[in-house]
Amino acid sequence: MSNSTETLAGMETPTLGPTGRPVREFPVPEPLTSHGPARIITMCNQKGGVGKTTTSINLGASVAEYGRRVLAVDFDPQGALSAGLGVDNHDSTTIYDLLLNPKLDPKDAIQQTSVEGLDVIPANIDLSAAEVHLVNEVAREQILHRVLRRVVDDYDLILIDCQPSLGLLTVNALTAAHGVLIPLESEFFALRGVALLKETIEKVQDRLNPALELDGILVTMFDSRTLHAREVMDRVVQAFGDTVLETVVRRTVKFPDASVAGVPVTQFAPEHAAAEIHRQLARELIARGAIA
């Protein structure tokens, strides 16, 4: 199908996507000849319910489909990523254990998922106590970094799914990461919080992790039928320009259905538009150089 429409003068004009930019087809990435070291990306937004976990699960699965080795780190005490990938997060070693006990081998906490090439380090409610235990530790902002550097050579991508907070755990994730991906619900109040999040990212860049990059803002839960969603999209693009990814995630019931089944939507409904949009997201981030 052509990504253009004909004008009355016979000239072709590009079809515009939801962000107001011409629709592009990102190429299927070439297979890798070797694996590692991983680029670490933190999925971050202090507002809850914006699609962080859904994006982490389905982006990780999509990147793995393209032959990359992916490790998803559940860094939210709610353990939604662990549940969404169908792994045990109660009778197993979790990220909380690794943070508190440096003698533990992170590889002992890693669990395989139903997706080939996608592994996960689980979390559960115990993680909610981590900030209290870590507050008096030396270099407390770098503890997650020390955990992940022991497995970074085994993967091409490590995705950290943060809790909706800007506390010590999120600062740990930003300090450990090479890049940040911000899922942003197409809703006005979600937009207001991005300035605070960017301020936190800049502080981490200044004081703890100068190499940290903003890989992109991903608009989620977009409904083009509503004027409100379109207005929010316009404001996001106006404020952040090319930082806003061209891929836009639309609302669909397939995401919660897949979560209940404990598999990514790419497995639950592989032909559905929700699955394809995350494959497109993976291709765009690879094309942008955010992922190998």
Residue 2: what pLDDT? 47
> Is residue 11 one of the residues assigned to a domain?
no
* Residue the block writes with tokens 């316009």: 234
Is 25 among the domain residues?
no
Q: For residue 204, is pLDDT > 50?
A: yes
Helix (H, G, I), strand (E, B) or coil at 72: strand
Q: Angle, to 10 degrees, between the axis of helix 273-288 and the axis of helix 52-65? A: 70
15 in a domain, yes or no?
Answer: no
Q: What is the pLDDT of residues 133-167, one digit of tens each?
A: 998 899 999 999 999 999 999 999 999 999 999 89
pLDDT of 4 over the 70 cut = no
CATH code for position 125: 3.40.50.300
How many Å apart are CA 240 and CA 181, to the nearest integer? Answer: 13
Evaluate whether residue 23 is within a structural domain: no
55-93, pLDDT tens digit by residue? 999 999 999 999 999 999 999 999 999 999 999 999 999
Helix/strand/coil percent split, the chain, to 5: 40, 15, 40
Q: Which residues constitute the domain of residue 247? A: 33-288
Q: Is 24 a domain residue?
A: no
Higher confidence at residue 20 or residue 9?
A: 20
Contacts of 128 (CB under 8 A, 6+ apart): 77
Distance (Å, whole) CA 97 – CA 40: 20
Which residues have CB under 8 Å from 142's CB, separation 6+? 172, 175, 176, 208
In this structure, what token pair is assigned to residue 27? 């190429």
What CA dihedral angle connects 3, 265, 49 and 184, to 10 degrees?
-20
pLDDT value of position 114: 96
Alpha-carbon distance of 229 to 7, in angstroms, equals: 28
Using the predicted structure, report yes or no on whether residue 1 has a pLDDT greater than 50.
no
Query: Residue 121: pLDDT above 90?
Result: yes
Domain membership flag for residue 16:
no
Instruction: Give domain status of residue 17, yes or no.
Output: no
- 22 lies in some domain: no
Total domains, the chain: 1
